[in-house]
Every structure is written in C-alpha cells, then in structure tokens.
Amino acid sequence: MTGKVVSPSQFGKIITIYPNNIDDFECILVELTDALKKFDGLKVPSDNSFRNSTIVHYRYGAINPIIEVDDDNTVRSYIVDNLGIKVEDVRRPYFFVPKNIMIPQFISGDTHNDLKNTSLVFIGDTYGKEIEVHKILRRLASGNIYLGKNKNTKVIIKMAKYGALSSREYPEGTQQLLKKNEKSNLLNTELSSILNLPDFIDDFYIGKDYFLAEKFVNGISLRDYSAKLGITKPKKIVTTLDLQKVRMIFCNLKKLIKELHSRGYVFGDVSPDNFIVDDELNIHAIDIESVHKIGMGEPYLNLKTELFAPVSEEKFSELEADNYKLGMSMFWILTQKNQEVDKDPKLIKYYLNLIVNQYPSLKNMVNMILDLLSIDKTVADLEQDKIIQPAKDAIITSIIKKIECGTIADISTTNYIKSNLSLSYGIPGTLLYLNSIKKLNKEDRKRCRIWILEQYHKKLISQGLFFGKIGLACVLANLDCSYEENMPLVDLLIEYHREGLNKDLSLANGISGIILGLEYLSRIKNYPNFSNIIEDLLLSIEENIDMVPESNLEYGDIGIGLTLEYLVSNGYMVRETLLDKVRNKIYNIYNESFVDGIFIGLNTDGVVYPSLMTGGAGLVLYAMCTSDSRFLKNNFLDLYDVPFMANSGVNNGVAGFILPLIIGMKNRRISLTNRKRVRHILKYWQSYILTNFRSTKSELGWKADQGIDIKQDLGAGNLGIIFILDLLTEVLKDEEREDY
C-alpha cells in the first residue's frame, strides 16, 4: 500500500503477523529476515526495521488490549506497562514505545528512533541553503508536508517517500519523480510567470526520502475559501462585495489555465487544494507536480483527483480534461456537492440554477462552469418526481425482507462510529421507526430483539442516547423487551449505582440524553419509574452546567435546554434556578446569532450549514419548544433563505433543517402573519428533497452525509427523511384544510 490516500500508519505494509509470545516474535523476525535478505523493500514509517532489513519491520502495540469507551463514544485500547500502570495503546504514524515498557533483549540494540539527531536543520543539495523544519502541516502516506524556514523566509517542505506510488512499471515509486518534475517546473521562468509559482528554495535527501523546499505563499487554498465563502448563509448577509470576489477569483482562475494551455502546457491535477488565493485575489498554483507539455507527459504525470475528473477521461483530450476539472472545481467551491451529484449534468445544472435564483449576479459564472463542463445550457431540467410513495414503500419492504430473512446486519447505515448499534446512525434507529409505523409484526420484533442483544454482547458502546446504552434500551423496550432482559439498561443502571454516570451533559451522548431515555422508559408498561434517578441527574446538570464547551443541540447548551423544556412540559419539577440559568445561556447564544439584524444561526467557526445538530436549526427547534417569550419566532425565518443544504438527511441536512418549522406549525407556535411565509419555505424544501431522490436500478433513496452512498438510518439515511416528509405532508394538508 503506497498510494496518497493510504493511512500513514499502513504505508508500505503487505502482511501483519501477530506472534503468540516473545519467543515466537524473535523466531519469526529472524527466519523472515534470513529468508528475504536478498530482497529490497520500503521503509514502514510506523514500524522499526529489524537488523536494518528493508523487508521485515516490527512495532509495539497491544494484541489483546484493555478496551474502554470514552464519553464521546471513542473506543480506546490500553495495555499495562512493566510498573503495572495502564497506558494507552496509541496508534502513532511513527515508531514509538511508551516508557516503562520492557524491550526484548534481542531487539534492544536496534535504532528505535530515526531522529536520534535532534537537529532539524538540513543543507540543500542544489544551492547549499540551510533549511530548518518547524512542524508538520499535513500527514500523507506518500510524504508529509512541513512548515519551516530558510534564514528569515518561511518555506513549505514537501516530502516524497521512497517507494510511494509504486507500481509494476515503477517499483521504486513515482512520488519522487513527481516532486522532481515539480522542481523542474518551479525553475521554469515561463511557468512561474503564468502560474504565479512560489520560488524554489532548495532540495535534499534524508536517507532515500526526497524533500523539496519552496517559498511559503500567503493566502488560503480554494478549499478553505469555499468553507468561508458564506454562500450557504442567509441571502441577506451575502454582500455584493462577496459575490464580486467570487467572480474575480473564478475569472482569474480560468485566465490562468487558459494562458497555460496557450503556451502548450497542461496542468493535470486541477483541484481546489492545488491553488491559493491571496488578499488581492491573485491565484497561485502551489502543487504543480503534474504540469507538463501537451502530449509529452510520462504516464505517471497523468494525475487526477477523482472528485473533479471526468468519468471517462480517455474520451477527453488533455486540454478538455483540464477544463472539465476546472469546471468541477468551481462547482465544488460554490456547492461542495461533487460527491452527491455523481457528475450527472442534470443535477449539476439543478444546483447551479439554485445559485442563480438566489444570486442572479453569478449567472455569468454559472454559464462559465457549464461551458467548462461542456453541459448544454438547453439540457432538460431535472424532472421532479413528486409521486415517490411506491419507491418509499419499496425501501421499507426491502428492509423488512432482511429482517424476515435473518440478515438484519445487512441493513446499510451511516458509519460515523464503529458500532452499528446507535440510535441515530445505526440499525436500532431503523428498527424503531419501522415499529412506530406498525411495519413489524410480533415475530419481526422478536428477531430484532434477539439480534440487538446478540450484537450488544459483542460490541462496546457508551452510555448515551444517540450512540449508547440508553438509546439501545429505548429501542429494545419499544420492541417488547422486558425490563429484566433489557441488558443495555441493566448495565447502565449498574454503572450509575456503582460509580455514577459520566460528566458529559450533552443530549447526544451524555446526561441530558439519558434523562430523556429514562423518562421514556418510565412510561413503558412493566418498567420501573426512574423519576428519582432523573432528579439526581438534574442535580448533576446544575452542578456542571458552566462546564459545557459547546452551544449546539448535539453536544451543547441547546440540547440541555431542550431536555429541560421537555421535562417541564411533561410535568416534571425542574428547579427554577437551573431552568433560568440555561434559558439565559441560550438567550445569549440567540443574541450572538445575528449579523446586521439578520439571524444566521450559530455564529461559530466551522459551521458551514445551519443544520439541526450543529447549526442554527437546533436553536430554532429550542425556540419552538420553550415558553420563554424572549425568542421571537419571526426572527428565525431568514435562516431558511439559503439555496441548498449539505444533504437531505435529518442530522446535517434538509430534513432536520425544516423540522423546527414543521413542529412550529403543528403546535401553533408560529403566528398567523408568518404562517404563509413558512408554508412557502416548507414547500421549497419539500421540492428540494423530492428532486434529490434517486430512483435507478442500483439506487433508491437519498445520498447520505458527504454524498457517498444511500443508507437506511434515521440520522442521515432514507428512513429519517421519509419520517420528516410524512410529517411535512400531514402539516401542509392541515394548512390547506384550514385555508379551505
């Protein structure tokens, strides 16, 4: 494994052997080294070579570790050192042995650290310049990227590992050939002027690995620019200047590639990662290892980033392929939808039309993208199939068949965490929904209970609602599991009484979610009443409420506040001091969520979309559920004036985005003066969801998070979207009846 997308800890590995004991360990190392001494291999960065072999390596790590699950549902492994102290078995991308671990005598003489010379200053081979390495910017299997300096000049240092990108034709790898091509291009004055290239500083080797140093360029990558663009924020705060910058950047980018082509060169790997935009909106190419003369490139120069490349590149000339990649890069900068659209011309045009409808001044840029992609502007618009009930029925029927056939594990869910037992992204949430709409008979429920309990004993899950024991306990109870057989609940209660629950207060995986789960279970026939535990957990919230690090619904104050509002609405006594404190915290979040009087959702770095779990829609949901009159519900509607969302799902997509408005309409929390506007908003997003529905021989449903695949879970998959669509249909019908 030597490719760029390989994990750094797996680079160069072919097979891993786990010895039974120290004697076997020594025997295997010695015999393999003797048998393979005539062969040459690659350095495995995470391992240490045995007796300087380039074939046989070893590393320290737990074979039968102590497993623990953290509050955030992270599975960690531990081992006991020679002093009896538990230490974490950290999977580092370099060779590492924790202190107090006894090293076997037969390897104690090996070099255990490639950087015994702690100096990180290297002398260049071309100009003899002194290059000082400061820190790693990015870890890649094919070679890391470092920040450093030459005298007072900041430099970027690109590593090319020996053997990276190896193949039958190039057994020693092509990564170094690519970096040497980049060096040649940096020294080419013609290319330097066309592409605004950084200055070449120097290059050097460490062992067999090659390093290329070039001058640091101030600016941000077009990938980072896309995240900061703000086009997915409410329309009213996207300024004319913002849109002018988009047009200028796109025009400069196209001009740069056009000039390159006119001089007889092809860029090759066109993608947002390979360009930087500076404060003056000039474009600088920063990764030019694939740039070459048209028709004269070696096969290894034909690099591409799949997300932006045409499906059948052999059908394109080199220049046409460059233009296509440029068009898809621009499309990604505006929408980040490349994975989701699968390069379907109709879907691409659909999203570009959404942008033009929202921002008419970008029409020329949209036409530029269509031209680069060779998409006819007159191509028929994507047909919206509003009658998808047969397809929805087919999705549900296919899942039911898996349950009846005993292949529940084959139900496809979103793999955000290692276990598929989560309520949010796992199979149990899917089963809960199917039972709630009366699609599971008695035998189905029994099969589901048995499967969940069997899997529960095999897997490690945390305590919480979305990803842990209490969520699983609620599903089992819903499937007719008795209190005595509900092992996730029993284990959780044992943990509570023995050492208490974790101090995480969140809705997703902490005390707030556990409270909601216990409240639900208290209403199940033949289950105990857990009000005493709920009261105790409320005290824990009161004691630790100032320690909550986030604001959002999933892991922050909003989720805690929503839990308290739910309890109050269901007759629980929540101390006024706690209720007021949380309400005031969330009100402060609300006040900070306005820009020039426009509500934009959670004003937090890294929140691109106003989603339910991490964005502004979570705050809207809280406002629809609280009796605190300070939250003016008409202020929230500007949040929905965006062209599109990350996907169609509940947690991060459109379904969850509109859920607060659906609940607000259903529970009469939206004023009569705003109900017409809300209906218009809901119909827009209903049309959006339906338009993105896939119905082909191989696909049925909606692309899940990141547009990778179609899944069946509640959090990102089909069933969560179907659930919200059914709620929406019911609310809109009620509104039509009232109008009539």
Work out the burial of residue 550: count CB atoms within 10 Å of its CB; fewer than 13 is exposed, 13-18 middle, 19 or more buried: middle
DSSP 105: G
- What local confidence, expressed as pLDDT, does residue 171 receive? 75
Judged by average pLDDT, the poorest of 91-100, 589-598, 669-678 is 91-100
User: Residue 512: which of 458, 554, 572 has the closest Cα?
Assistant: 554
- What local confidence, expressed as pLDDT, does residue 506 receive? 94
3-state SS assignment for residue 701: strand
Reply yes or no on whether the pLDDT at 736 is more than 80: no
Residue 200: beta bridge partners? 214
Contact present, 232 and 609 (Cβ < 8 Å):
yes
Reply yes or no on whether the pLDDT at 133 is more than 60: yes
User: Residue 351: which of 329, 368, 335, 365 has the closest Cα?
Assistant: 335
The pLDDT tens digits of the residues spanning 220-237 come to 999 999 988 878 778 878
Reply yes or no on whether the pLDDT at 576 is more than 80: yes
Reply yes or no on whether the pLDDT at 28 is more than 50: yes
- Whole-number Å distance between alpha carbons of 669 and 663: 8
Share of residues in the chain with pLDDT > 90 (%):
60
- What local confidence, expressed as pLDDT, does residue 666 receive? 94
Question: Which of the four pLDDT bands, split at 50, 70 and 90, describes residue 7?
Answer: low
Residue 266: beta bridge partners? 292
Phi-psi region of 374 (alpha: psi -120 to 50; beta: other; left: phi over 0): left
Residue with tokens 């919206």: 384
- Whole-number Å distance between alpha carbons of 47 and 38: 20
Reply yes or no on whether the pLDDT at 190 is more than 80: yes
Question: Which of the four pLDDT bands, split at 50, 70 and 90, describes residue 378?
Answer: low
- b/e for 466-494, b at 16 or more Cβ within 10 A? bbbbbbbbbbbbbbbbebeebbbbebbbe
Rounded mean pLDDT of 157-183?
88
Q: What is the pTM of this model?
A: 0.83
Reply yes or no on whether the pLDDT at 93 is more than 70: no
- What local confidence, expressed as pLDDT, does residue 115 receive? 38
How many C-beta atoms lie closer than 10 Å to residue 573's C-beta?
Answer: 10
Question: Which of the four pLDDT bands, split at 50, 70 and 90, describes residue 1?
Answer: very low
Rounded mean pLDDT of 147-166?
91
Question: Which of the four pLDDT bands, split at 50, 70 and 90, describes residue 118?
Answer: very low
DSSP 247: H
Reply yes or no on whether the pLDDT at 108 is more than 70: no
The pLDDT tens digits of the residues spanning 684-721 come to 999 999 989 988 888 899 988 766 789 999 999 999 99
| Residue 275: partners with Cβ closer than 8 Å, 6 or more residues away | 221, 222, 253, 283, 284, 285, 286
User: Residue 277: which of 227, 344, 336 has the closest Cα?
Assistant: 227
Query: What is the CA 676 to chain-centroid distance, rounded?
Result: 36
Query: What is the CA 405 to chain-centroid distance, rounded?
Result: 33
Q: What is the 3-state secondary structure (H, E, C) of 39-101?
A: CCCCCCCCCEECCCCCCCEECCCCCCCEEEECCCCCEEEEEECCCCCEEECCCCCCCCCCCCC
The pLDDT tens digits of the residues spanning 437-468 come to 999 999 999 999 999 999 998 777 889 999 99
275's enclosing H/E stretch is: strand 275-277
Domains of the chain: 22-110 (no CATH), 121-215 (3.30.200.20), 220-373 (1.10.510.10), 413-542 (no CATH)
The pLDDT tens digits of the residues spanning 655-692 come to 999 999 999 999 999 988 999 999 999 999 999 999 89
User: Residue 718: which of 336, 398, 347, 451 has the closest Cα?
Assistant: 398
The pLDDT tens digits of the residues spanning 191-218 come to 999 999 999 999 999 888 899 999 999 9
Reply yes or no on whether the pLDDT at 105 is more than 80: no
- Whole-number Å distance between alpha carbons of 474 and 432: 9
- Whole-number Å distance between alpha carbons of 322 and 316: 9
- Whole-number Å distance between alpha carbons of 115 and 333: 40
- What local confidence, expressed as pLDDT, does residue 441 receive? 96
Work out the burial of residue 305: count CB atoms within 10 Å of its CB; fewer than 13 is exposed, 13-18 middle, 19 or more buried: middle
3-state SS assignment for residue 283: strand
The pLDDT tens digits of the residues spanning 503-545 come to 899 999 999 999 999 999 999 999 999 999 999 999 999 999 9
Judged by average pLDDT, the poorest of 87-91, 316-320, 486-490 is 87-91
Question: Which of the four pLDDT bands, split at 50, 70 and 90, describes residue 104?
Answer: confident
First to last CA, the chain: 66
